[in-house]
A and B are shown apart, each in its own frame.
Chain A
């Protein structure tokens, strides 16, 4: 219990990932759904850093640098898309995205 093994980090990461997945599936506010996706990416990062530490190998950390770059790019584009959507529809509710059948 007191010795922290890689399994501990993997479980933490799995739990955070699942919280993110639940957020994406259950919330209707698109901004909060985006944030839940950020939580998922953070879970991936925790996993990668913990494995990099366990394997004594820095590739996992390099991977995290790229994941963070991608998260930044996606946040910028995603929020831009959201703004364009909001200007036309005055809502950020997923259930009101109904111009086309969902």
Chain B
């Protein structure tokens, strides 16, 4: 019961804020809706017992990425709203129709497959020598997934170097 209340409240918030992000005309408002959306997703992670992810969702998304967006919105000081100029060849209606069709299709497939075979698959992780979500996640990251974890550090270094190269003014 408690999970149902939490789920429906959060779903309405997440979807509503998601729609708000892509419909508001002002970019700054979009960013604010985006951060609220991320916070709701973080709460959803707590409901799903992924505490560590909830924390990094807030730290990285809400704390890092959104601040980056805010900086760019401030730097890109637009003299006129970008939506004013519209390419006449742009097929926005077809795009909307196609994505609507995709939504219906996704939902239909998901509902259909789950109504036929209620979720039966379980593939429990092997026993951990540690207790708790954070400890177990850390264990996996530093043993089984050590290689991609290290590659991710190279990826972040590349992103850092790239952001500096692209954003500084001189060549």
* B53 near A65: Cβ-Cβ < 8 Å: yes
Measured CA separation A74–B158 after assembly (Å): 10
Of B22, B87, B164, B167, the residue contacting A26 (CB under 8 A) is B22
Residues in chain B near residue A84, CB distance under 8 A: 166-167
Q: Are B65 and A31 in contact (CB under 8 A)?
A: no
Distance to closest chain A CB from B29 (angstroms): 10
Q: Which of B26-54 contact A (CB under 8 A)?
A: 27, 30-31, 34, 37-38, 41, 44-45, 48-50, 52-53
Q: How far is the CA of A59 from the CA of B148 in the complex (A)?
A: 13
Inter-chain CA distance A22–B22, complex, in Å, is 8
Describe A's contact surface by its main secondary structure: helix
Contact with B along A19-43 (1 / 0, CB 8 A): 1111101111111101110110010
The distance from the CB of B61 to the nearest CB of chain A, in whole angstroms, is 7
Residues of B within 8 Å of A65, CB to CB, are: 53, 56, 137, 141
The size class of the interface chain A forms with chain B is 35 or more
Across the interface, A45 reaches (CB within 8 A) one of B1, B41, B73, namely B41
The answer on a CB contact under 8 Å between B125 and A50 is: no
Question: Size band of the B side of the interface?
Answer: 35 or more
A80 touches B22 (CB 8 A): no
On chain A, the residues within 8 Å of B95 by CB distance are 22, 25-26
Beta-carbon nearest neighbor of A91 in chain B: B82
Residues of B near A86 (CB, < 8 A) are 75-76
Q: Least Cβ distance of B83 to chain A in Å? A: 6
Residue of A nearest to B169 (CB): A87
Partner of A57, one of B72, B124, B165: B124
In the complex, are the beta carbons of A56 and B122 less than 8 A apart? Answer: yes
Within 8 A of A (CB), among B60-93: 60-61, 64-65, 68-69, 71-73, 75-76, 78-79, 82-83, 85-87, 90, 92
Which residues from chain A sit less than 8 Å from chain B, CB to CB? Answer: 1-12, 14-23, 25-32, 34-36, 38-39, 42, 45-46, 49-50, 52-59, 61-62, 64-66, 68-77, 79-84, 86-87, 90-93, 95-96, 98
Interface residues of B (CB under 8 A from A): 1, 3-4, 7, 11, 14-15, 18-19, 21-22, 27, 30-31, 34, 37-38, 41, 44-45, 48-50, 52-53, 56-57, 60-61, 64-65, 68-69, 71-73, 75-76, 78-79, 82-83, 85-87, 90, 92, 95-96, 98-100, 102-103, 106-107, 110-111, 114-115, 118-119, 121-125, 133, 136-137, 140-141, 144-145, 148, 152, 155-156, 158-160, 162-167, 169
Chain A to chain B contacts (Cβ below 8 Å), 5 pairs: A21-B99, A30-B82, A35-B21, A38-B34, A39-B22
